[in-house]
Structure 1
Amino acid sequence: MMATPGRPSQLRPWAGIRGRLAGTYFLLVAVTVLLISVALLTAVRQYYLDNIRDILDQQAGLAAQFYQSYLGKNPLVQEAPDLAAAFSATTAAAVQVLDSSGRVLADSTAASDRPNLSSAPDVARALAGKAATYSGSTARGEPYLAVAAPLAVDGTVQGAIRFVTSLAPLEALLGRLAGRLALLGILLILVMTAVGFVLAHTIVEPVQELTGVARRIAGGDLTVRARRHFHDEIGTLAETLNYMAAELARLDQLKKEFVSSVSHELRTPLTAIRGWAVSLKEGSVDPAYQEQGLTIIAAESERLTGLVEELLDFSRLEAGKLTLRRGRVALPPLLQSTVAEMQPRARRLGLTLTLDVPPALPEVNADPARLRQVLVNLLDNALKFTPTGGTVRVFAGLDAPEGRLTFGVADTGPGFTSEELARLGRRFAPGSRPGAGSGLGLALVKEILALHGGELKAESAPGQGATVRCTLPLDGMAPSTDV
């Protein structure tokens, strides 16, 4: 079943962690029980077989020695019944006495038939003069173990004595043991599978809770928080999710403040333009009044255009499409021309605008239009907040050990608070003082410098002015392609 795009898929009962963990426990315990049971049954069977074989070997050897010492003077066919009867009384096995051709001369089971067993492997070896053991099955499928030993007199093999015991009791014992092991194994498998389910529950429940929290956050509820059940990886994940929700809530609030600030900045020039347009439409004949209105409309239109351009740049920045047109840039002429453009505004505000730039600075690989945008934004802020009679200084210099070029603006304005310094250049972070604007300018400055491989730094204290520095790499530290 395919998941619906955009929505989490529903897990089948055995497809999740609970099912996999319980299944793993089941397979692990089942394989372990099976291997242990097979090993145990094999060891028990071999132990009993070895014991039975040793006993039969001893009895066969004793019978052969007894025959050689006490009965070997008489023909084997004469002593065979007594020999079989004597040793059958000391063992639970059947005793067979065979002549040198392999024909049964006596059988303690009182069987009427006297087959020839010379083809039996143990009998053949015994008639060849060596004791032997053989295990097999009867025609009826009953397992047995046979031990045969040669009956010799003066080194001549007269026949063989054979002890045969049924292994059916041993197989029955092993069957009962296998049944008990199977029962114990099933019980152990059930217990361990249950343990697996319980252990999986301690994992799945927090994960399911985190899933629910994540879905609520995705639905727009940024106040929900996940509980930390244990001090483990899942607990760390819960804390990370809570941190993400808090950051999203903070960014959401910043965006709301940003929208409010931008709306206010757009409304101010639009209101001025509309007001003067209405006044001029009413047909005032005073040329000075008309000139004043047209000047204000032009200025506010330019201000509005600048704000819209900043919004467009910010949009490109958010989409990762802010483009740099690089080239070799000499910084002093760029700073001089920008300061010259801002001088009339500085004089109108009663401020002293100075330029402090060394005569020779290395060129940088940069976008001159974007660097001018950086300087204009910095000067705009400095001129806006420096009180009448104050000084605004544009400076530049070379940091040779670091291989970087520095330029910036210093003013004698009110400076920044520690909180303002901390959020300087952040996206969606409007200033806190009256007339501070939307904060778009410094956010763009920071990102433009970052695209050049540079940094934005500020030094300030309340009431002691502010110094904002921009750094640029001199060579290949800056990316060589458009971003």
Structure 2
Amino acid sequence: MIKKGIGRQIVLNYFIIVFVTLFMVEIIFSLAIRVYYYDTIYNHMYTHSTWASDFFQKFVRLSAERDPDYFTEMLRTFELDNTELMILNLKGDVKASSNAFQADKAIQTSDVLQAAAGGVGKWIGRQTSTGEMVMAVSTPLQVRGENRYIVRFVTSLEAVNSNLTKLTLLSTAVCLAVLALVTLFSIGLANSIVKPINNIRAVSAQMARGKFDARIKGDYKYELGELASTLNYMAEEIVRSNQIKDEFISSISHELRTPLTGIKGWSETLTMGGFDPEETKLGMGIISKETDRLIGLVEEMLDFSKLQQNEMKLVIGRVNLKELLQETMLNVWAKAEQRGIQIKLDDKTLQPVTVVGDGNRLKQIFLNLVDNAIKFSHENSWVHLVISRAEPGQVLVEVTDTGIGISEEHLNKVKDRFFQVNNQGGGTGLGLAITQQLVELHHGDMDIHSELGVGTTVAVKLPLAEPEDEAQLADGNGNGDLA
């Protein structure tokens, strides 16, 4: 007995469909073969009865009609094998018969009554005397256009019915054999589906319990193969995400510990007193710098959390993109100067470029991109910012460096959260993930093109401000959420 489940349902559905189909075919076949045999017998007797009627009309004379030997001749001429031929009057009385046994009373079956009325009658039923199933065909015999007698052929259907029963039993046996084969086939088909599903389910249960090293093994085809591949890929991604998360925790712990150690050390040192103003100023400067670093790390994690929960609120306004990039360059100028890196801005639009968005968040986008360009550039190199028109209604900002570049292996992952190409470089690995989402919040696109050892170009497309945006900003006092 197949236990409840998809396998049992498949077998049951196949069984019901095939059973109903074979049952209908069996009924149609039985009826068709019965009708075929019965019609063949009827047509044969009908043809001979028609010949007998035509013969009677053409050659019978008034004198012959009264001649009792004529009926005997007629019986001998039109007699059929295994068939009784009878000549009746219109009342059903037997005048002559090829059977030695004469009926003791008039025959009043439906075929005789129809023939007496001038038509050809057919009757299937059981004879009263013998109890066997017979078919009778009766045709009127006319004299001078008037019905006088009835010629009646009667044949037994017992042999035919016996053959029909045998054919029915044989076809039923064939149907049962087909049904058995289909059932076995459906069981095999169900097992071929259920076994992989059970395997996938077992491995999925292991994954649900945290065993992400478990993998679905087997060369499954079609949807099952795709499902197995998807689950294996999911497990690999979870393992990778856990590894990245662990690396992030380790990295962020180090990032937080370093400034905290500096703050604590200088705080304890300054608390002891006895320092001249210059040393005190140096210590306070280090404390301030490390505090800003801590604040930056915390704000980065808070921004990422808000973006993940769709809670980031933007203060919308009209932003002059060139002025914003110039401010960004000023913010990183000191850092670039320390490494001898030149920052260039090239405006190819030759006109003011205005976008609608949150100025602080847009500045955060480009500040992060330019800061990364400086961070991964060689000393005494350059970082190039280019503003140009892209597609109609869009502006393109490209940040290009001649730094270490990114390998093709890592290029598709650099925008993933917690991912860092160089774990020794510090940071949370959230910068580009946050930048990507901020660009999308401004209905823009960000693409990264890089070649290892040559440099990297980050292209940001943003929609230009339309004239109607100014009216909307005026009505809304320049504040709102950009969704």
* TM tier, smaller: 0.7 to 0.9
Seen in structure 2, the aligned counterparts of structure 1 residues 449 and 111 have a Cα distance that, compared at 3 Å, is: same
Kept in 2: contact 1:77–1:99 (CA 8 A): no
Residue 482 of structure 1 aligns to a residue whose secondary structure is coil
Seen in structure 2, the aligned counterparts of structure 1 residues 63 and 83 have a Cα distance that, compared at 3 Å, is: farther
Counterpart in the other structure of 2:37: 48
1:56 corresponds to which letter in structure 2? Answer: M
Counterpart in the other structure of 1:441: 431
Counterpart in the other structure of 1:28: 17
Match for residue 160 of structure 1 among 145, 150, 168: 150
Deviation of 1:409 after TM superposition, in Å, equals: 4.4
Match for residue 123 of structure 2 among 114, 120, 134: 134
Deviation of 1:189 after TM superposition, in Å, equals: 0.2
Kept in 2: contact 1:414–1:462 (CA 8 A): yes
Deviations, residues 6-40 of structure 1 (Å, cap 9, x unaligned): xxxxxx94541x23332333233323322332333
* CA RMSD of superposed structures (Å): 3.6
Residue 98 of structure 1 aligns to a residue whose secondary structure is strand
Counterpart in the other structure of 1:364: 355
2:327 corresponds to which letter in structure 1? Answer: S
Seen in structure 2, the aligned counterparts of structure 1 residues 418 and 82 have a Cα distance that, compared at 3 Å, is: closer
1:73 counterpart = 2:67: no
Residue 278 of structure 1 aligns to a residue whose secondary structure is helix
Whole-Å separation in 1 of the counterparts to 2:376 and 2:250 = 21
Deviation of 1:346 after TM superposition, in Å, equals: 4.7
1:146 counterpart = 2:136: yes
Match for residue 265 of structure 1 among 249, 252, 255: 255
Seen in structure 2, the aligned counterparts of structure 1 residues 109 and 288 have a Cα distance that, compared at 3 Å, is: farther
Match for residue 189 of structure 2 among 199, 205, 225: 199
Kept in 1: contact 2:120–2:139 (CA 8 A): yes
Whole-Å separation in 1 of the counterparts to 2:329 and 2:307 = 26
1:325 corresponds to which letter in structure 2? Answer: V
Seen in structure 2, the aligned counterparts of structure 1 residues 112 and 434 have a Cα distance that, compared at 3 Å, is: closer
Counterpart in the other structure of 2:299: 309
Deviations, residues 260-292 of structure 1 (Å, cap 9, x unaligned): 111111111111111122222333443333322
For normalisation by structure 1, the TM-score amounts to: 0.82
Residue 424 of structure 2 aligns to a residue whose secondary structure is coil
Seen in structure 2, the aligned counterparts of structure 1 residues 435 and 281 have a Cα distance that, compared at 3 Å, is: same
1:135 corresponds to which letter in structure 2? Answer: I
Kept in 2: contact 1:206–1:229 (CA 8 A): no
1:328 counterpart = 2:318: yes
Seen in structure 2, the aligned counterparts of structure 1 residues 425 and 59 have a Cα distance that, compared at 3 Å, is: closer
Whole-Å separation in 2 of the counterparts to 1:461 and 1:63 = 106
Residue 38 of structure 1 aligns to a residue whose secondary structure is helix
Deviation of 1:171 after TM superposition, in Å, equals: 2.8
> More deviation in 403-412 or 73-82?
73-82
Equivalent residue pairs, number = 465
2:186 corresponds to which letter in structure 1? Answer: G
Counterpart in the other structure of 1:482: 482
Counterpart in the other structure of 2:329: 339
Match for residue 424 of structure 1 among 391, 414, 422: 414
Residue 73 of structure 1 aligns to a residue whose secondary structure is helix
For normalisation by structure 2, the TM-score amounts to: 0.82
Seen in structure 2, the aligned counterparts of structure 1 residues 323 and 145 have a Cα distance that, compared at 3 Å, is: same
Unaligned runs of 5+ in 2: 470-479
Residue 428 of structure 1 aligns to a residue whose secondary structure is coil
Whole-Å separation in 2 of the counterparts to 1:95 and 1:232 = 71
Whole-Å separation in 1 of the counterparts to 2:94 and 2:409 = 112
Seen in structure 2, the aligned counterparts of structure 1 residues 35 and 469 have a Cα distance that, compared at 3 Å, is: closer
Deviations, residues 22-71 of structure 1 (Å, cap 9, x unaligned): 23332333233223323332232223213322332354356556767579
Whole-Å separation in 2 of the counterparts to 1:417 and 1:86 = 109
1:381 counterpart = 2:382: no
Whole-Å separation in 1 of the counterparts to 2:334 and 2:80 = 132
1:330 corresponds to which letter in structure 2? Answer: N
Seen in structure 2, the aligned counterparts of structure 1 residues 187 and 109 have a Cα distance that, compared at 3 Å, is: farther
